[in-house]
């Protein structure tokens, strides 16, 4: 049994197929990773940082081959993939900074106090790595959310081992990326088996079920993510499953903004909607706007271009779901863009519906159409939005466009959007997720399985760590992060006071 890559531009096979991983091979890969974890988790953070940076350098050095391979399997284009690979290597380097700064372990010390009730012993708390992490690659980001992406980078940084389940849409890219990562880890002195990869749907299930897998990171569809989440929770020993799933990313345009800059807003919306042929997790699929903005939006989408979807299944799903939407009696199709004639190509499509109809059919009309499809919900009174927005399903982002005269109203809209969204954008568009300390890429179900955590940014490392408190241990037996003299010089909270002490 094999996993075969395909060229989305033609629908034809591309590259050499990869053999699916058997149960015994999954066991060998996970067992090797679990053994390597024992060594890797004890490596000082600064040394782990140097290893991650060596992996980043190796990926950059092989960028031409990696980008060409990914373009053949995804049709995402060389410019987009060049940027994405650089984002991927920058993620690895960011976690080098996180490790050297040190606050990610949340070192906390309470001095003993026998005179309070109850008496307090010497307590020292720190976050420690969980073990072997299973990482599921995303279809739409063959680098940044795949083999060497953010889940892998943050898990390795935390001190965990990683086993990746390759996505079937880009097996050749996965194989080449894994080759570079494995060689770079070895050359940098990381333990053998620290990083592994498996192929095939069945291998992914076996990976989650393996008793030495301790956590899972996933980026993909709501249906697939929910099925794997249930497997992780159905184990005799349930394990954390951090899934980034579906998101409609509502955007609200307030009346004064719509009147002041209709063409600008429409052009920027269409660009964000169709970016990556709508195959971003943050494309704005739902836009609330005055009816006066619809003509400009329709013209902008009509002038836009579609392209090849990542695989045949996604292409078929987009075509069938948008065709069904157009054939129904709830919405009106405003316009559509063009598309290439060959392969798994689709056209952008824009629909509109009045707010009252949308509210009465909210569950149906908030279904995600993965691809370049948008629904404009028209309203007359912005106050009516405040009752509808909190009923939206959980989403990664919420956006508000407002003129200065509307700041008070924008604040009220943001207050209701924050109940359903993990990131609030003002006078911008949600596509483009910065790799930074303050980024939160998460949200309530179904956008993620756990709204407390992010899959992008420095704090994504927190998913692979769990707290341990050391009570009354002698200083020389404590982890370096908790010793009296703070030999690593990291930020710590001592007796309630945060500082480098």
Q: Which residues are known to be catalytic?
A: 244, 281
Distance CA 435, CA 181 (A): 20
Distance CA 312, CA 389 (A): 34
Strand 213-219 to 132-136 pairing: parallel
Instruction: Let me know: does 137 contact 201? Beta carbons within 8 Å.
Output: no
Beta bridge partner(s), residue 423? 397
Strands (E), 166-224: 195-198, 213-219
Q: Which helix (H) or strand (E) holds 255?
A: helix 255-260
Cis preceding-peptide flag for 118 (omega within 30 of 0): yes
- The structure tokens listed for 457 are 């940014």
Cα angle 45, 459, 40 (rounded to 5 degrees) comes to 30
Strands (E), 295-368: 307-308, 332-336, 345-346, 349-354
Distance CA 361, CA 329 (A): 11
Give 103's contacts (C-beta < 8 A, 6+ positions apart): 490, 491
**Distance between the two ends of the chain, CA-based, in angstroms?**
57
Q: Read out DSSP for 429-480?
A: -S-----STT-----STTSBS-TT--SSSGGGGGGGEEEEEEES--GGGS-G
* Burial track 182-213 (b if 16+ CB lie within 10 A, e otherwise): bebbeebebbebbbbbbbbeebbbbbbbbebb
Nearest to 258 by CA among 133, 422, 130, 403: 403
Strand 395-401 to 421-426 pairing: parallel
Distance CA 190, CA 55 (A): 11
Q: Is 238 exposed, middle or buried (0-12, 13-18, 19+ CB in 10 A)?
A: exposed
- Phi first, then psi, for residue 339 (nearest 5°) are -155, 155
Beta bridge partner(s), residue 492? 499
The interaxial angle of helices 171-187 and 63-74, nearest 10 deg, is 160
């Amino acid at each position: 049994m094999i996993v075969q890559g395909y060229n989305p531009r033609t629908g034809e096979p591309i590259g050499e197929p990869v053999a699916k991983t058997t149960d015994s091979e999954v066991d060998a890969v996970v067992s090797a990773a679990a053994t390597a974890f024992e060594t890797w988790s004890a490596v000082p953070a600064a040394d782990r940082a140097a290893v991650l940076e060596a992996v980043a350098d190796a990926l950059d050095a092989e960028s031409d081959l990696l980008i060409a391979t990914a373009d053949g399997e995804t049709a995402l284009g060389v410019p987009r993939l060049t940027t994405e690979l650089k984002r991927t290597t920058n993620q690895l380097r960011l976690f080098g900074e996180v490790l050297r700064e040190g606050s990610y372990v949340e070192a906390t010390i309470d001095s003993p106090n026998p005179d309070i009730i109850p008496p307090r012993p010497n307590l020292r708390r720190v976050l420690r790595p969980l073990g072997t992490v299973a990482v599921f690659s995303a279809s739409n980001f063959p680098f940044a959310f795949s083999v060497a992406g953010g889940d892998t980078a943050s898990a390795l940084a935390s001190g965990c081992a990683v086993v990746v389940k390759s996505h079937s849409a880009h097996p050749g890219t996965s194989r080449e990326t894994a080759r570079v990562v494995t060689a770079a880890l070895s050359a940098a002195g990381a333990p053998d088996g620290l990083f592994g990869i498996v192929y095939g749907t069945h291998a992914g299930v076996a990976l989650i079920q393996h008793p030495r897998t301790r956590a899972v990171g996933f980026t993909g569809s709501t249906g697939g993510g929910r099925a794997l989440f249930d497997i992780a929770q159905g184990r005799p020993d349930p394990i954390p499953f951090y899934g980034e799933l579906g998101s409609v990313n509502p955007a609200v345009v307030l009346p004064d903004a719509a009147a002041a800059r209709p063409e600008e807003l429409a052009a920027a919306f269409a660009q964000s909607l169709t970016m990556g042929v709508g195959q971003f997790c943050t494309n704005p699929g739902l836009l609330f706007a005055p009816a006066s903005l619809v003509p400009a939006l329709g013209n902008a989408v009509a002038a836009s271009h579609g392209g090849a979807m990542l695989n045949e299944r996604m292409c078929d799903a987009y075509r069938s779901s948008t065709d069904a939407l157009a054939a129904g009696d709830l919405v009106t199709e405003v316009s559509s863009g063009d598309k290439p004639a060959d392969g798994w190509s689709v056209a952008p499509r824009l629909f509109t519906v009045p707010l009252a109809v949308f509210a009465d059919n909210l569950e149906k009309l908030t279904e995600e159409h993965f691809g370049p499809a948008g629904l404009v919900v028209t309203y007359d009174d912005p106050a009516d939005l405040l009752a509808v927005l909190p009923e939206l399903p959980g989403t990664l982002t919420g956006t508000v466009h407002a003129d200065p005269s509307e700041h008070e109203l924008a604040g009220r809209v943001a207050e209701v959007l924050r109940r359903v969204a993990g990131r609030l954008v003002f006078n911008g568009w949600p596509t483009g997720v910065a790799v930074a300390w303050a980024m939160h890429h998460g949200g309530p179900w179904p956008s993620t399985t756990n709204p407390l955590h992010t899959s992008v940014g420095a704090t994504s490392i927190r998913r692979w760590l769990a707290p341990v408190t050391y009570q009354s241990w002698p200083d020389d037996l404590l982890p370096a992060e908790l010793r009296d003299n703070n030999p690593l010089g990291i930020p710590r909270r001592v007796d309630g006071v945060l500082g480098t002490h």
